[in-house]
Amino acid sequence: MIYFDNAATYHNDNKATLEVYLEANQKYFANANSSHRLGYLANKAVDQARLSILRDLKLDSNYEVIFNSGATEGINHALKGYALRNKSRGNEIIAFKNEHPAVSETLLSLSKLGFKITYIDCDKNGEINYAQLKSLINQNTIMVVVMSVNNETGATNNLDKIYDIVKTYPKCVFFSDVTQAIGKINLNYHHLDIFAFSAHKFGGLMGSGILIKKKKILLTKLIDGGAQENNLRAGTLASPLAISTSFALHQAITHLDGNLKHVLKLKDCLIEGLKKNPEIILNSSSEFPYIVNFSLKSKKASVLLEALSNKEIYVSSQSACHAKSNIVSSVLLNMGLDRKLAENSVRVSFSEVNTIDEVRIFLRELNEILGEIR
Amino acid sequence: MKYTSIMVRFGELSTKGKNKKDFIRMLADNIKHALKNYPDLTYDVLYDHIYVNLNNTDYEPIVNILKDISGIQGLSLVIKIKSDIDEIKQTALNLIKEEKGYTFKVTCKRSDKRFPIVSDDIIRQVAPVILKNTNLKVDVHQPDIKLSIEVREEGTYVFTKTILASGGYPIGVAGKVMMMLSGGIDSPVASYLLMKRGVILECIHFASPPYTSEAVIDKLKDILRELNKFQYSIKLHIIPFTKIQTKIYEVSDESYAITIMRRMMYRIAQEVASKQHCLAIANGESIGQVASQTLDSMQVIEGVVNLPVIRPLCVLDKLEIIKIAKRINTYEISIRPFEDCCTIFAPKRPKTKPRLHEVEFFEKKFDYLALIKEAIADTKTITIS
C-alpha cells in the first residue's frame, strides 16, 4: 500500500500517540470538571496539555487553548463566535477566496446574518493578493480571514505579511485556518489573534481539534450547556483525547525540521518525475512540500484514481470525481485554470513515513496507467 | 382479539387450469423460504388459499414480508375457530367490536357442505347479534366494515381486514431470464417487474475497471439484496469489459462506439444466457431514453442475438420508473455517484440512427469473437442471497 493522501488524514503510524491516549484513558477516566480528587487530577493533566501546546507554538499566557472536535468546529466557533460577539464594532469581514469550505460556508452563513464579506483574490500560484488586502481593509473591518496553507494545492500565504497589514487596525483581528500547516512548517503563531486546527492532520487522533485565541478576544459560544473550556464550549471535555493531541503536536513540532527536509526530497523527486510526462501540468509551485497538485491534460482524474486505487496507491482528486456530479475545484478555477484542467486535478500529499521508493513506484505506475487509459 | 392465521389469496391463477397445482406449490415454497426466520409458523396449503398459522407469532412483520411476494393478490388476518354456530356468532361480535366504522355487512361462504346451516342462514343468525350488541347499522352496498365468514372442512375462518399484496405470478413458474444490470435506476425496476411475472433472474454486469469503480459492484450487491425480497437468491455474472471497450474506441468512429458496445454486450449476454439455460435476455431499456435506446438503435443492436429480448420498461417514462424504484428501495442505491461503463465513455454525438453496414464495417476491424471468448472465460460469478 502506498498512502499519499496525508492532507486528508495524516498517517504516520504514530503508535505512541495511541498509547498516550490509552494510558490517559485509564488514568484520567474521571470527569475533569468534577470537584473530587480524581477530577482535579484529570483537570491538571489537561492543563499541562494546554501549557505544552502553547509552549510548542511559542505562545505566552496571553493565549488560551480550547479543545473541541476538529478544525471545522474551531473555525465555526472563531468566525461566528467573534462576529456575533463583536458586531457593534463593525460588520465587515475580509476573507481569502480560496479558503476551505469550513471557512467559506461559515462566512456564507454570516453573510445571511447581515455581515458584509469581501473576498481577496489569489495569484496564479494560489497565493493571496496582499496589495488588494491592503486596499480593502478599513475601520469597519472586524476580521481578516486567511488560511496558512491551501488544502488542495499547498499554496502558502505569508501570514507575517498579513500581520503587518492587519496590525495597523487595532479593532480588527486576524484569524487563520492553520490545519494543513501546523506541525509541518514553522509559523509565527504570535502574529495570529485566533486560529484553529485538527489533530488528525499531524498524527493525532480523529475527533480532536483545537482553537487557540488571545484571552482578550471574546467569543459567543456555539454550544450551550455547562461552563467547560472557560465557558466557551459546553460538553464534557475528552481529557484523554486532549492529552494525546498535545503529545502528537509535540512530536510533530519536535521533528518538524527533519520531516520537512525528508518530505522536500520526496517532493523534488515527484516533481522531477511528473515534469517528464507531457500529459501532466503542475498546479503547485509553492515551497510547501507536503502537497503536490497536478492536472491531466486529456485524461480523466477519476479514472486514474480508480486505477491507482486498484493497485493500492491512494491519492485524491479535489474535483469532479464523478461524471455525474458537476463539482469542480473552485480553488483551481480561481487560480486561472480552465475548467477541464480543474476537473482533472490530482493531489498527492505526503507524510514523514513516505519514502523515495514509494514516490518512484508511484511515478512508474502513474506513467503506465496514463499510457494505457484513454 | 388475537388473529390465528393469515389467509393468502392467489394472484392471477384463476386463468390457469391443470397446472394451478404447480403454481400453488411454487408459491408455498417461496412463502416458506421468505418466512424461514419464523420457526413457529405452520402452513396449510389448500387449493384456493394458503393459510399461514401464526401460533402466537406477531402478525405485522409477517404481513410485510408476504406483501412483497410475487403471486399473492391479497392477505386477510383471520381467526380460525370450530365450525359451531354459537362460536361463530361470538367471534364475529368480538372481532367487529374492534373495528372502526358505522355500518357493516356480513358475507359467508360455506364450502363444507356438511355444516347444517346454509350461508344465507348463517348471515341471518350472525347479523342480529351484532345489531343487538353494537351501535352499528347494516349497509350492504358500501359498508365501513365487511365481516367475512368462511366455513371450511378444517374449521371456520372469520375476518374483517384484507390487505392488498403485489399480485403477479409466483416466482419461478415462468422460467429464467438473463438480466443486463448496469446499476442505474432502470435495470433494477425492470428486474422487479419481471420477478413479479414469476420470472427467475440471473444478472449480467459489464465492468470496465479502472473506468468504472470497484464501488459499482458494491452498489449492485446492495441493489440485489433489495431484490432478494422478491427472489431469494440471485446470481450475478461480472464480465470484464475493459479490453473490448477500449478496442471499440480504437477502431470505430466515436459516434458509433455506443452502438457497437451494446452489440458486444448483447452477444456476451446471449452466450452467458444460453450457458445458464435462460430463455431470454432482458434489460432496462425504455424507448427513446438515450441514443442506444431509439427504435433505430434497438433494431441494429438486437440483430446480433436470436434469444427474445424483453424490455419491461420500454413504454414507461423516467418519472414512472423512478416511482417504482423508490417503492422497491433501489432508487437511493442507484443514484450513488459512481461511473458505470455507459457514462464514462459517453461520446459527444452518439448515433441515434445507426446504419447496419457502417456498424459492420467497424466491427470487421477487430477480432471481437476472440475478445468475447476471453471475457466470458474470465467472468466472475457471485450469488446474492
What's residue A330's pLDDT?
87
For residue A362, pLDDT over 60 is answered with yes
Query: Which phi and psi angles does B72 have, rounded to 5°?
Result: -105, 125
Catalytic site residues of A?
321
For position A145, what pLDDT does the model report? 98
Selection from B217-226, B286-295, B332-341 with the highest mean pLDDT: B217-226
Buried b / exposed e over A60-88, threshold 16 CB at 10 Å, is: eeebbbbbbbbbbbbbbbbbbbbbeebee
pLDDT (0 to 100) of residue B146: 93
Does residue A373 belong to the interface with chain B, where contact is any CB pair within 8 Å? yes
pLDDT tops 90 at residue B175: no
Phi-psi map region of B310: left, alpha, beta (phi>0 left; psi -120 to 50 alpha)? beta
- Indicate the CATH number of A256-372 among 3.90.1150.10, 1.10.10.10, 3.40.50.2300, 2.40.100.10: 3.90.1150.10
Contact criterion met (CB < 8 Å) for A306 and B210:
yes
**Could you say which of B143, B167, B191 is where a domain stops?**
B167
Please judge whether A322 and B210 are an interchain contact, meaning their C-beta atoms are less than 8 angstroms apart. Answer: no
Chain A: residue nearest B346 by CA? A323
Q: What is the CATH number of the domain that holds B288?
A: 3.40.50.620
Amino acid at A76: N
Q: Are residues B318 and B286 in the same domain?
A: yes
What integer pLDDT is reported at residue A310 of this predicted model?
92
What is the bridge-based pairing of β-strands B49-53 and B5-10?
A: antiparallel
Return the number of other C-beta atoms located less than 10 Å from residue B90's C-beta.
Answer: 15
In whole angstroms, what is the distance from residue B287 CA to residue A146 CA?
54
Subunit contact B337:A309, Cβ cutoff 8 A: no
CA angle B154, B159, B161 (to 5 degrees): 140
pLDDT tens track for A315-349: 998 644 444 455 678 899 999 999 889 989 999 99
Quick one: B160 and B256 in the same domain? no
Kindly state the helix (H) or strand (E) to which residue B158 belongs, with its residue range: strand B155-167
Mean pLDDT of A234-247: 95
**C-alpha of B32 from chain center:** 17
Task: Read off the pLDDT band of A314 (50, 70, 90).
Answer: very high
Amino acid A321: pLDDT: 40
Tell me the shortest Cα–Cα distance from B100 to chain A, in angstroms: 48
Is residue B71 within 8 A of residue B30, CB to CB? The reply is yes
**pLDDT at residue number A322:** 41
Query: Cell numbers of A52, please?
Result: 505544552
Each residue of A87-111: pLDDT tens digit?
A: 888 999 999 999 999 999 999 999 9
Is-same-fold flag (A15-254; A256-372)?
no
Q: What's residue B293's pLDDT? A: 86
Question: How far is the alpha carbon of A367 from chain B, nearest alpha carbon, in Å?
Answer: 15
Domain tally, chain B: 2
Instruction: Answer with the one of B167, B192, B220 that is the final residue of a domain.
Output: B167
Averaged pLDDT of chain B: 90
> Do residues B17 and B94 both lie within one domain?
yes
Judge whether residue B262 has pLDDT over 60.
Answer: yes
Q: Return the bridge partners of B203, or none.
A: B179, B236
Same-domain pairing of B163 and B180: no
Fold (topology level) of A15-254:
Aspartate Aminotransferase; domain 2 (3.40.640)
Contacts B210 to A, Cβ<8 Å = 303-304, 306-307, 309-310, 369, 373
Q: Where are the domains of chain A?
A: 15-254, 256-372
Select from B210, B212, B337 the Cβ nearest to the Cβ of A324: B337
Contact of B73 with B25, CB cutoff 8 Å: no
Interface contact A307, partner B, CB < 8 A: yes
Residue-level pLDDT at B3: 92
- What residue has cell string 467569543? A219
pLDDT the model gives residue B213: 83
pLDDT of residue B340: 55
**Does B84 score more than 50 pLDDT?**
yes
Measured between CA atoms, the residue of chain A closest to residue B344 is: A323
Looking at residue A204, what DSSP letter applies?
A: -
- DSSP element (H, E) containing B80: strand B72-81
What's the burial of B18, exposed, middle or buried (CB within 10 Å: 0-12/13-18/19+)? exposed
**Phi and psi (nearest 5°) for A299?**
-105, 165
Residues B203, B140 share a domain: no
Kindly tell me the burial class for residue A373, based on how many C-beta atoms sit within 10 Å of its own C-beta (0-12, 13-18, 19 or more).
middle
Q: B162: domain range?
A: 5-167
Q: Are strands B155-167 and B145-152 parallel, antiparallel or unpaired?
A: antiparallel
Q: Do B59 and B197 have their domain in common?
A: no
How far, in Å, CA of B87 to CA of B82, rounded?
A: 7
Q: Which of B167, B184, B201 is the last residue of a domain?
A: B167
Best residue of B249, B338, B340, B345 to probe chain A, by most A CBs closer than 10 Å: B338
Query: Rounded to whole angstroms, what are the CA distances from B149 to A367, B45, B100, B110?
Result: 77, 19, 19, 8
Nearest-Cα distance to chain A for B19, in Å, is 49
| A77-87 residue pLDDT tens | 999 999 999 98
Distance CA B342, CA B304 (A): 20
User: What is the per-residue pLDDT for B94?
Assistant: 93
- Where residue B120 sits, what CATH number does that domain have? 3.30.2130.30
* Whether A306 and B344 lie within 8 Å, measured CB to CB: no
Query: Do residues B232 and B358 share a domain?
Result: yes
pLDDT at B172: 81
The pLDDT > 90 percentage for chain A reads 85
Lowest-confidence segment of A349-363, B4-18, B331-345, B358-372 by average pLDDT: B331-345
B279 with B225, same domain: the answer is yes
State whether residue A371 sits within 8 Å of chain B by CB: no
Q: Is A144 on the interface with B (CB under 8 A)?
A: no
- DSSP code of residue B336: S
Q: What is the pLDDT of residue B343?
A: 57
Q: What percent of chain A has pLDDT over 70?
A: 97
Residues B285 and B193 in one domain: yes
Please give the helix or strand (H or E) that residue B32 lies within, else none.
Answer: helix B20-34
Q: β-strand A280-282 against B103-110: which pairing, if any? A: unpaired
Longest pairwise C-alpha distance within chain A: 67
Please report which confidence band the pLDDT of residue B68 belongs to, taking 50, 70 and 90 as the band edges: confident
A285, pLDDT greater than 80: no
Q: How big is chain B, counted in residues?
A: 385
Give yes or no: residues B114 and B210 share one domain. no
Interatomic CA distance for residues A301 and B192, integer angstroms: 35
pLDDT at B344: 60
- Positive or negative, the Cα torsion across B224, B229, B233, B234? negative
pLDDT digits over A2-14, tens only? 999 999 999 998 8
Chain B's closest residue to A369, CA to CA, is: B210
